[in-house]
Amino acid sequence: MSAVLTINGLRMTFGGLVAVDGVDFTLANGDIAAIIGPNGAGKTTVFNCISGFYQPSAGHITLDGEDITGLPSHQVVRKGLTRTFQNIRLFREMTLLENLLIGRHQHVNRSFLAGILRTRAYRESEQAARAEAVKWLEFFGLLPFANHEAGALAYGQQRRAEMARCMMTGPKVLILDEPAAGLNPNETAELVTLVRELRDRHGVSVLLIEHDMSMVMRLSEHIMVMEYGRPIAYGTPEEVRNNPVVIKAYLGEE
């Protein structure tokens, strides 16, 4: 299976602090993979480098054969990689539909003159964006709340809304930063089903950070384990679960 995302020799320093060092990782096309590790292991720093929020100190990041190392986040999104965040970042006073339409803005005809004249091309791009928003609201079970303010939705609905907005960008790779944080067991089980359907029905490759090990083991096909900024293990869920180095990192030694 071909690689859709490749990380080679990733290193990130902040002054004299080495936050991430020596990270090599490959996400296969159509794969669901996870990065796990104790708090402070460097997982979110890796995500910030991949998604263009940090410029790596060293290393290369390739998306579908194209080098995206150091590109700003909005350009990374246009190349086909988008992400959620640990803290929900919806526009709380906008409706759910408006939040999704913002996620589609780079595909809408943004010509100033076209907007003033409301040309046919402009109207068609607006209609296409609304149709796409309705599709993803329906997929995530949120269509009845389309005209509700995003801030008024239940927490689990806001989590799904953020994923729906990501899908409006038409990504090849979806990065999920602790998507199950704050969810109850039923909501987590629904999330597992939705992520699998995104991969199976829509061809999206998924990379996630998650502390819910039950979810990681059920959902992921490959896992990278980090500690103190460096990878300490790679493998399938079964291999990682039984790796003595991983057990030591999480549970310590007697």
Question: What pLDDT sits at residue 47?
Answer: 96
Q: Which pair of tokens denotes residue 50?
A: 């991949």
Angle, nearest 10°, between helix axes 155-167 and 96-103?
30
Question: What pLDDT sits at residue 170?
Answer: 93
Query: Between the CA atoms of 123, 126, 127 and 128, what dihedral angle is there, to the nearest 10 degrees?
Result: 120
Three-state secondary-structure class, residue 172: coil
Question: What pLDDT sits at residue 254?
Answer: 45
What pLDDT digit, counting tens, does each position of 211-242 carry? Answer: 899 999 999 999 999 999 999 999 999 999 89
SS (H, E, C) 70-95: CCCHHHHHHHCEEECCCCCCCCCCCE
Three-state secondary-structure class, residue 253: coil
Question: What pLDDT sits at residue 75?
Answer: 94
Question: What pLDDT sits at residue 251?
Answer: 59
Question: What pLDDT sits at residue 39?
Answer: 87
Non-local (6+) Cβ contacts of 12 within 8 A are: 18, 19, 20, 21, 42, 45, 46, 49, 54, 56, 57
Question: What pLDDT sits at residue 113?
Answer: 45
The count of other CB atoms within 10 Å of the CB of residue 253 is: 6
Residue 226 backbone zone (phi > 0: left; psi -120 to 50: alpha; other: beta): beta
What pLDDT digit, counting tens, does each position of 141-174 carry? Answer: 999 999 999 999 999 999 999 999 999 999 999 9
pLDDT at 250 over 80: no
What pLDDT digit, counting tens, does each position of 200-217 carry? Answer: 999 999 999 998 999 999
User: Which neighbouring-strand residues pair with 67?
Assistant: 62
Q: Which pair of tokens denotes residue 18?
A: 């080495």
Q: Are 110 and 101 in contact (CB under 8 A)?
A: no
What pLDDT digit, counting tens, does each position of 87-145 carry? Answer: 888 999 999 999 999 877 655 445 444 555 566 776 777 888 899 999 999 999 999 99
Question: What pLDDT sits at residue 249?
Answer: 79
Question: What pLDDT sits at residue 243?
Answer: 92
Report which DSSP code applies to 180. Answer: T
